[in-house]
Amino acid sequence: MTMIKGYIFDYGATLDTAGCHWGQMLWHAYRRQQVPVTEQQFRDAYVYGERTLGNNPIIQPDYTFYKTLQVKIRLEMEQLCTSGAWDADEEMFRKKHDAVLEDVYDKVKTITAHSREVLAVLHKRYPMVLVSNFYGNIATVLKEFGLDIFFKSIVESAEVGIRKPNPRIFTIGVERLGLKPEEMVVVGDSFYKDIEPALAAGCHAIWMKGEGWTKKEYDESIPDKVITDLEELINAE
């Protein structure tokens, strides 16, 4: 990867969970907080929640990540109750909801603090853009974690009307910096939504490999580099 002049970062599961798929991140919290459901029941609820948020303007631009997570977990747990997977009274529902929320948010704060340290170093060397499939509140979320100062531009799916894995969303990121695709490197956790479309757009790609939603294996020779910690971006310089 010679002559790299700029970085494009994904947000969700790259900067906030260190490569762990958000479904897995939440499932681990459900288990730690002893929510009495099976993994398949949780997965069904997770998919329901994501589809509901994707198809309805529930998340507002001023929603913090904490509030977004609150809504997400509530949707999942309501579906678990209405489907008959979990028979929780109001008090138990609130107790488990709040326990999972605080559990996950604490972990996200720790991980984003680490990401912030890495971005602070890279920011001194390269211009950076964020490209994310998000709910329309990514600017608020970045400010919440002190990450907004590092990005020259934000390309959010809800704003531009294009979603990953469409390579065009990465092309927009390249254009925002006025660079050529071959001068840019994309860092993301999803092989399907980040790595493959980034390469299709002519960029270099670094795969942030973590715990995926499925057990599917990918050809690790396809991305330019595979990392498990953002710090490797600095150490490789």
Q: Which tokens in the block code for residue 230? A: 């953002």
* Residue 144 and residue 100 in one domain: no
What tens digit of pLDDT does each residue of 132-176 get? 999 999 999 999 999 999 999 999 999 999 999 999 999 999 999
Run of H or E including 127: none
Our measurement of the distance from residue 13's CA atom to the centroid of its chain's CA atoms, rounded to an integer in Å, reads: 3
* Residue 197 and residue 123 in one domain: yes
> Does residue 55 belong to any structural domain of this protein?
yes
> Which residue range is the domain that position 199 belongs to?
6-20+110-235
* Residue 81 and residue 187 in one domain: no
CA distances from 7 to 107, 191, 201 (A): 25, 17, 14
Other beta carbons less than 10 A from residue 91's beta carbon: 8
Q: What is the pLDDT along the chain (237 residues), one digit of tens a residue?
A: 778 999 999 999 999 999 999 999 999 999 999 999 999 999 999 999 999 999 999 999 999 999 999 999 999 999 999 999 999 999 999 999 999 999 999 999 999 999 999 999 999 999 999 999 999 999 999 999 999 999 999 999 999 999 999 999 999 999 999 999 999 999 999 999 999 999 999 999 999 999 999 989 999 999 999 999 999 999 866
CA distances from 131 to 11, 12, 100 (A): 7, 10, 28
pLDDT of res. 237 = 61
Other beta carbons less than 10 A from residue 221's beta carbon: 7
Overall domain count for the chain: 2
3-class DSSP state of 27: helix
Please, are residues 107 and 60 in contact by the beta-carbon 8 Å criterion? no
**Residue whose token pair is 């990867």:** 1
Run of H or E including 74: helix 65-82
Final residue in a domain of this structure, among 109, 134, 164: 109
Please, are residues 146 and 65 in contact by the beta-carbon 8 Å criterion? no
Beta-carbon contacts of residue 66 (< 8 Å; ≥ 6 apart): 101, 105, 144
Among 117, 108, 113, 111, residue whose Cα is nearest residue 233: 117
pLDDT of res. 1 = 72
Spatial strand order of the sheet with 225-227 comes to: 153-156, 128-132, 6-9, 184-188, 204-208, 225-227
* Residue 169 and residue 196 in one domain: yes
> Does residue 159 belong to any structural domain of this protein?
yes
Does the predicted model carry a pTM greater than 0.85?
A: yes
DSSP structural state of residue 192: I
* Residue 152 and residue 195 in one domain: yes
Among 108, 173, 177, residue whose Cα is nearest residue 146: 108
